[in-house]
Amino acid sequence: MSRAPKWIDTDVHNAINNPKDLLAYLPKAWHAQWLGQGIGVSSPYYSPVGVMRKDAKPPQGGQPGGDPGYLLKHHLDKYGIDYAILTGSGVLGISLHVDADYANAVISAYNDWLVEHWLKFSPRFKGSILINASDPAYAAKEIDRMAGHPDMVQVIMASGARMPYGQRFYHPIYEACERNGLPIAVHPGTEGRGIAGAPTPSGYPSRYLEWHNILPTNYMTHVNSLVCEGVFEKFPKLYFVAIEGGICWLPHLMWRMDKNYKALRDSVPWLKRLPSEYIKSHIRLTTQPIEEPEKPEHLVQMFEMCGAEDIVMFSTDYPHWDFDNPKVVLNVLPKAMRQKIMAQNAIELYGLYEAPPAMGEESASGSPDEGIAEAEVGGQ
C-alpha cells in the first residue's frame, strides 16, 4: 500500500569517490586536465573544522558521501528519510572555470555518471542536472539532454556568478528549465572563487567564518535580481530553489523590495505584482543551516513573516560539518508548519507523491534520539 513520503531531504551531497570514476564519460582530450586539475576553481577560505563530517567516511574507504550504499544506510535509513535530492559535492565551481569548453565537458560527464552510479542504484536518490551557468546556450542543451531521465528532478548551478541571476544572459537556462518542467536550484560555496570576483560588495573577508556568515547576501542579490528583471513574468512556471542560503533574511528583503517598488515601479514596468508576491510564488528555500535564535519563538515569528510554511523545504546538508539533524532541528515549529516543511513542499515541487516502494514502514520509524550525538559539530 503506497503512502506519502514522510521526510524528504532536499540537500544531500553525493561525492565522486575517485576522479577516475568520471573518465568513462569524459572525452579523452580532457582526461589529463581532469586528473591534474579537477574542478580547477579553488577557495581561498579554510574551515578549521573541515567541511566533511568525519563519521560520514564509508568504512571501506573513499570520500564522505561517496558510497551510495553507505549513504543510504548512514543517513536515509537512520533518520527515516524517504528521498534524498542529490546536489553533488565539490563540482558546482565548474561554472566559474575560465574555460567554458572544459567546464561543459566535465558537467556532461558528471551528469552521465550521476545517472549510472546513483540514480540507478536506488529510487530514493533523485538527481539535480549540473549545468555550467557561464555558458547558457550549452547549459540549455544539457538540460534538454538530461531532463528525460525520470529521476532527474531539478537543475543546479553555483550561486557564485559574474552577474546577478536575473539578467538576460541567463534566460536560455530558465527557458530550458520551464520547457522541461524542472526547477532551477543554486547552492552556495563558490562565492569569491574563479571568475566570480569578490564575495562581498567591499572585497574579500579574511576568514572562513566571516565568509560563511555573509554567504546569504549573494542569495539576496540573486532573488532581488530575478524578481526585478521580470524573470517570473517571462517564465511563469519557473521555480528557483535557494539551497543552504538561510531563510530569516527574507522578511527584510521582501519589505524593502515592496516599499521601493511602490516608489520606483516606473523602472520595472513588466512587473504586475508586488515583489514579495513573486518571491512567495516562485522562490523555494531549504532549511539547513537553520537559524537558531536564543528564543525559539523568534524563529516561528520569522517563518510567519515570510510565509515559510509554503516555501521552505527541509534539508540536512549531509555529510557536511554543519549538518542539521531532522529529529531536532525544526521541533520548535508548530506541527502543521513543520509537516509542510519536512515533506509536503518538496513533494509538490518535485512531484514525489508516493514514498519509494522499497522502503517499509518500519524503516521510517526508529528511536528519536538515535544518531544525535554524532551529528552535532563544534558545540552547536
- Residue 298 as a binder of a copy of itself (CB under 8 A): the answer is yes
CB of 9 to a copy of itself, least distance (A): 20
Q: What are phi and psi of 363, to 5 degrees?
A: -80, -10
CB of 167 to a copy of itself, least distance (A): 7
**Taking Cα atoms as reference points, which of 174, 162, 233, 173 lies closest to residue 198?**
162
CB of 232 to a copy of itself, least distance (A): 14
CB of 294 to a copy of itself, least distance (A): 8
Name which of 182 and 228 has its Cβ closer to a copy of itself. Answer: 228
CB of 280 to a copy of itself, least distance (A): 12
Grid coordinates 525544526 are at which residue?
A: 330
- Residue 293 as a binder of a copy of itself (CB under 8 A): the answer is yes
CB of 269 to a copy of itself, least distance (A): 11
The three-point CA angle 12-14-17 to 5° equals 155
Name which of 146 and 290 has its Cβ closer to a copy of itself. Answer: 290
The three-point CA angle 40-217-38 to 5° equals 10
- Residue 98 as a binder of a copy of itself (CB under 8 A): the answer is no
CB of 214 to a copy of itself, least distance (A): 5
**Taking Cα atoms as reference points, which of 157, 146, 92 lies closest to residue 119?**
146
Please state, in angstroms and rounded to a whole number, the distance separating the CA atoms of residues 231 and 51: 34
Q: How far are the Cα atoms of 185, 207, 213 from residue 136, in angstroms, in the given order?
A: 15, 32, 30
Name which of 28 and 295 has its Cβ closer to a copy of itself. Answer: 295
Q: Which stretch binds a copy of itself (CB under 8 A): 57-65, 80-88, 156-164, 338-346?
A: 156-164
Q: Which stretch binds a copy of itself (CB under 8 A): 68-76, 292-300, 325-333, 344-352?
A: 292-300
- Residue 291 as a binder of a copy of itself (CB under 8 A): the answer is yes
CB of 272 to a copy of itself, least distance (A): 15
The three-point CA angle 155-317-290 to 5° equals 110
Cα 158 to chain centroid distance, Å, stands at 9
Grid coordinates 519509494 are at which residue?
A: 356
Q: Which stretch binds a copy of itself (CB under 8 A): 75-83, 232-240, 297-305, 311-319?
A: 297-305
Q: What are phi and psi of 50, to 5 degrees?
A: 75, 165
Span 173-202, contacts to a copy of itself by CB under 8 A: 191-192, 196-202
Span 35-64, contacts to a copy of itself by CB under 8 A: 47-49
Give 281-284 contacts, CB < 8 A, sequence gap 24+. Answer: 281/232, 282/226, 282/232, 282/238, 282/239, 282/240, 283/223, 283/226, 283/239, 283/240, 283/241, 283/242, 283/311, 284/183, 284/239, 284/240, 284/241, 284/242, 284/311, 284/312, 284/313, 284/345, 284/349
Please state, in angstroms and rounded to a whole number, the distance separating the CA atoms of residues 360 and 209: 41
- Residue 121 as a binder of a copy of itself (CB under 8 A): the answer is no
Q: Write the DSSP assignment of 325-351 as a string of letters.
A: -TTTTTTTS-HHHHHIIIIIHHHHHHT
CB of 145 to a copy of itself, least distance (A): 27
Please state, in angstroms and rounded to a whole number, the distance separating the CA atoms of residues 84 and 124: 6
Q: Which stretch binds a copy of itself (CB under 8 A): 174-182, 260-268, 333-341, 344-352?
A: 260-268
- Residue 365 as a binder of a copy of itself (CB under 8 A): the answer is no
Among the listed residues 71, 129, 161, 359, the single contact to a copy of itself using CB under 8 A: 161
Residues whose CB is less than 8 angstroms from the CB of residue 375 and which lie 6 or more positions away in sequence, other chains included:
53, 323, 325
- Residue 2 as a binder of a copy of itself (CB under 8 A): the answer is no
The set of cell numbers assigned to 14 is: 553525493
Span 261-280, contacts to a copy of itself by CB under 8 A: 261-268, 275
- Residue 209 as a binder of a copy of itself (CB under 8 A): the answer is yes
Under a CB-based contact definition with an 8 Å cutoff, are residues 124 and 83 in contact?
yes
- Residue 203 as a binder of a copy of itself (CB under 8 A): the answer is yes
Residues in the interface with a copy of itself (CB under 8 A) total 76
Name which of 30 and 261 has its Cβ closer to a copy of itself. Answer: 261
- Residue 319 as a binder of a copy of itself (CB under 8 A): the answer is no
